[in-house]
Structure 1
């Protein structure tokens, strides 16, 4: 249940160690979001709604309108689900808002997937065919489930991310497409993702439209109250 949201989290999860710092110049993002998923059993899921993120509130709010009207709040490592403003469930989430694509976009850290602010280090750089491929490796002496992460950039924008486990097996592949330039920030409006699960593939397409940065007002959606009086 709500597996689309777990997939969205896994798609952006990078297990950063020692993350720090952010800019205050661009601090809010709102967008219409569409998520299309092809599961490993060849069934399909389609989800549509809006996403709100304010890095000061440290919450990602998903206002879902299809296939059912409900609202999700990702805060710290918990995911809260509301129906008609009533809290219906609380579950663990692998995605912290500070490690999400929304946070990286606002802080202009998407180009290196936020790894420059982590303890991962650059172990190799290759150039060719208009691409720069940087290999980021986990720090030595750390028992990390994540191995090398390959970051491909094109025209100074993030193009692809390949995440491997500590044994070198591919866990996730992501492609970032159809960038727009808004208020001095490069924003991908389409993300293609493949997750490799027990030898099988799960496909996902995430699309953003009507993106707004630094919206004034609408504070209740950006800092949705988890516990209500």
Structure 2
């Protein structure tokens, strides 16, 4: 296969959420970490990677452009309006890509509120999944003992934590197959919380690629302090790409 014929890699960042658990006056992706917003840190990870052809940013309608604090992108960053739920925003981003990319191109969907993704984890995901027939996602092993509850709120059984993983992002699948899987879930009225769930629902078995636990999702106010520490260790707080 020639270089031009090889599938391209695209990043898709859904950033239309409101982040109610942050108790903030703005969505969590627009809060500041060092000199940049959370979103800017997240976008920079992909814009600085040489194998990512372009990044699709999906934001809510009515967002103040000044709040976005977008990094320099050299024409590789595209902005799309999101939907009511995460799956709707991802669907809108995929529809945008479908007009510009091939169905067998890879799409890496990554949470806007995960600014600490290590570059080596992104490299590992790309290397591991490039020839995979399905695709997959970054995961972290569970370090806690996990209990499955019954309807009465009592322990039904203890899960084997050696087989339990926490789903992270990016989650990397082919554009056409992922778009079909999300459309099938929407048509059935099934709410999916991540792309792997949509793929599983139609019979695929995504591959698990172990990633670093520093790839946290900022959800609550205390998470900002943790993310600040991780970005400082990565020497990324002062970067302005």
TM-score, with structure 2 as normaliser? 0.30
If each structure's strand is expressed as a fraction of its own residues, which one has the higher value? 1
The answer to which structure has the higher helix fraction is: 2
